Structure formats: C-alpha cells, structure tokens
Amino acid sequence: MANRELMCLECGHTFEVYSDDEDGELEAECPVCGSVDTTRTYDEETEVDEEHLKEDQDSDESDDLKINLDDE
C-alpha cells in the first residue's frame, strides 16, 4: 500500500517500488544496472523495537532473534 525504498547491492542506487505487502520481501530490478540483488533501506514505520526481540531457543545458533509481538 506504499512505496518502499530499495537499494541495489550491486551499484548502490536507491529507488522506490510500490508494494501491497508491508512485511514481505520485495524483488525489483534496479533501473540503473538491472540487478535484482536488492535490499530494503531503513524504514521508521516498520522498525521493530529491541524489547520485542528475544532469543530463539529452538535455533542452533544463539545469535538468532525472533520478533515477539505477544507482549502487546
């Protein structure tokens, strides 16, 4: 429902893409170099506070974090 800013990991160009899915992964082709290797840039609206993150006890790696929205 909004434009999301992406950054091309190949050339560093940033560009906007319309998306209906606010939390989903976006795939788009860079208009400069044509690469589809992109990542979302920082977005204050979708930022998750650290207090809502917790360690994933089921994971093999201790550094993994999960979003905990049950506390709200």
How many Å separate Cα 28 from the centre of its chain?
13
Sheet harboring 2-8: ordered strands across?
Answer: 14-19, 2-8, 38-40
Tally DSSP H helices, then E strands, for the chain.
Answer: 0, 5
Give tens-digit pLDDT for 25-35: 677 899 999 99
- pTM greater than 0.95 (yes/no): no
Which residue, chain included where needed, has tokens 């979302």?
40
Are 53 and 63 in contact by the 8 Å Cβ rule? The answer is no
- Measure the CA angle with vertex 8, ends 33 and 47; round to 5°: 160
The per-residue pLDDT for 37 is 87
